[in-house]
Structure formats: C-alpha cells, structure tokens
Amino acid sequence: MPLQAGIVGLPNVGKSTLFNAVSNSAKAQASNYRFCTIDPNVGLVDVPDERLDKLAELVKPNKVVPTQIEIVDIAGLVRGASRGEGLGNKFLGNIREVDAIIHVIRCFEDENILRDEGEINPVGDKEIIDTELQLKDLESVEKKIQKIEKQARVGGDAKAKAEFEVLKRCQEWLLQGKNVRELGLAKEELPAIADLFLLSIKPVLYVANVDEGSMHTGNKYSEILQKVADAEGAQMIILNNSIEAQITEMEDPDDKAMFFEEYGMKEAGLNRLIRAAYKLLTLRTYFTAGVQEVRAWTIQEGWKAPQAAGVIHTDFEKGFIKAEVIGYNDYVKYGSEAACREAGRLRIEGKEYVVADGDVMHFRFNV
C-alpha cells in the first residue's frame, strides 16, 4: 500500500479543489460550504519524474509505469476540533492514519468565498490547526503518562522510566504550543511514543493558495507564511489551486501548451507539489528498464537491495542472490544496459547494498 499524504486545512481554503487537481483516480466534491468533505477522498497520484521519461526514450519499451503515492482529502477542521467541535474527532482520526500532512492555507482575498475567521491571516489559520493537533496529542501523552508514571517512579522499570522521561519532554513541549516534530527526539527515543500515533509529529508541507496574479511571485500573505515555514525548517509551495484544476481538465496537449504559455508556466505547479510530497515522505525511486517495461519503484530512504527487490515481489526478497546495478547518470551517458556493461559501469551488489536514488536495477533470485 502506498504511503499517504493528507490534505488538511480550515474550511474553504481550497483543499478539495487541490485534491481534484492532483488526483488522477478520484474526484472530490468542491463546494462553498463548511464540511463539504465529510468522508476522506483518496486518490492515487503518479509521481512525475524526468528520469523515467529519459529511460523510456532510450529503451523504447512497450509500457512505461510511473510510481505513485496516495493523496487523501480530509474534512476541513474548525477551532475546537480537539474537543469534538464540527467533525473534530473524525477529522483528527483521519489525520492520524496518514504519513505526512499537506497543509493548505488561504493566501488570497475573495469576498465571495466564505471565511469564519475574519480577515485573511495565514499564520493565524496555521496556528488554529497546529493548536488542535497539539491539544489532541497532549491528551494522548498525558493518558500514557498516567498509565506508566507509578511503574517508572516506583517500580524501577528501566524501560518505563526511559519512556516516562520522553513523554514528559513531549508534554512540556506541547504545553508551550509547539509541534512534536520540532522537538528533535533521537531515533532511539521514538519508540516511547510510537503507539500514540501523534498528529503534530508528522512532517508537513505548506501550500499557499494564492490569487491568480500572485501564482509566480507570491503576495504579502504567502511571504509571511514563508517566514514561518522557514523558521520551522518546513517547505512551502505557492499555487493557485483553481488554475491547477483547470490544467488537469485539459486533454489536448496543444491546449495545455498554449495555457502554459499564456500563464508563463513551464509545467503544472502540481508536479512540484507531488515531488515535494514524495520527498516529504522520505521516499526514493529506483528503476527497472527492459523492452517490455520501464518502471519506477518506490522505496524508503536507506533500504537495502533485498528490501527493494521485495517491492516487486516477496519472492525476490526471500530468494535474493544479488543485484545488477547501473547508476542513472551512467545509463544516460552510455545509452543502454549493454553499453554500460561493456564500459564496466554495471556493478554486482549483495545483500548489504543500500539502494541509491535513481539506480537502474535487475535482481537475481532463487526461490
């Protein structure tokens, strides 16, 4: 199952419009009233990759298959969601299930689009959602603290004591109105809170939904939001969601090219969004390239060759013998697998090989 990035935000900020634009397998209803989206919409999204296109150009296969991620359109959150306001519990439960957050924030003025929170205030809008996630996390952390406190302080349980210390740090951090992802927990500390599935620990990508005139340069609202994102070490992308939705409705390549020229675009902004979401999930890509098919495969950063082989089929991992590996740049330079082999650029790697992003691979296995 592909990893999921959930689109979140206040009502009427353009979440469902963005989902409709980004998803190539589902269409979400986009309407101008609160809670238009009740059940989350899920769509599989192709990840644009120029390397896949280049390999296909060289190999000329019968089929080209991009890799995909899942994008989830989640109901709009309102102030008080952590206490069950609006669709709060359902909304927060849906966020808990995704691996990363795409946070859409309104950075445009339009009196025809409803807004509950007064004047346009991107940082204030961001903080509303942050606060609700933090409050829900605080509730989860404090429940576990109560559960293990006696065991940690009196029972002499070393594991419970270590977990208790991590939980107390999270509690203090959340009480300051900060997200757990910014706490900087060490890798060995994360198991202490893994069972809580905290909301504010998830990586986030901010999308500044701007007006048409600001889609290239941004505006005063997106500039403010960018400063906040930079302070968090988070990435932000500027889009006009309505324009992106129009692009996806175009089937004729010539029409699309004319549209790009008219709006001064080199590619759809959604391509930047999808690539950023892919990176946010710490995903990497390797390729298989043959006459029948050139295909991109998704793996987690740091995976070794047998794990990567298992993405194709579990038998590949179980019976892994070795991998034939060509670096992407070498493949493009020499133009074919045969030429890379002749030039000594095809490597034989074993079970401990950590797959590099862009590797072109062929696996040998025995079941």
Instruction: Please report how the helices 122-153 and 158-175 are oriented relative to each other, as an axis angle in degrees rounded to 10.
Output: 150
Q: How far apart are CA 15 and CA 40, in angstroms?
A: 11
Is residue 28 within 8 Å of 19, Cβ to Cβ?
yes
What are the structure tokens assigned to 147, written together?
Answer: 């559960």
Q: Is 13 annotated as a binding residue?
A: yes
Q: How far apart are CA 86 and CA 35, in angstroms?
A: 8
Is residue 361 within 8 Å of 325, Cβ to Cβ?
yes
Return the residue matching tokens 């296909």: 56
Q: Is 220 annotated as a binding residue?
A: no
Q: Which parts of 114-241 are beta strand (E)?
A: 204-210, 235-239
- C-alpha angle 80-86-91 in degrees, rounded to nearest 5: 85
Dump the DSSP string for 208-252: EEE-GGGTTT--HHHHHHHHHHHHHT-EEEEE-HHHHHHHHH---
Q: Is 15 annotated as a binding residue?
A: yes
Q: How far apart are CA 239 and CA 318, in angstroms?
A: 44
Residues 6+ apart with CB under 8 A from 225: 105, 107, 122, 123, 126, 206, 208, 236
Q: Is 12 annotated as a binding residue?
A: yes
Q: How far apart are CA 146 and CA 139, in angstroms?
A: 11
Q: Is 187 annotated as a binding residue?
A: no
Residues 6+ apart with CB under 8 A from 289: 55, 58, 59, 61, 295, 331, 337, 360
Q: Which parts of the chain are beta strand (E)?
A: 4-8, 41-46, 63-65, 68-73, 100-107, 204-210, 235-239, 283-289, 293-300, 320-326, 347-349, 360-365
Q: Is 124 annotated as a binding residue?
A: no
Is residue 27 within 8 Å of 76, Cβ to Cβ?
no
Residues at the binding site are 12-17
Residues at the binding site for ATP are 12-17
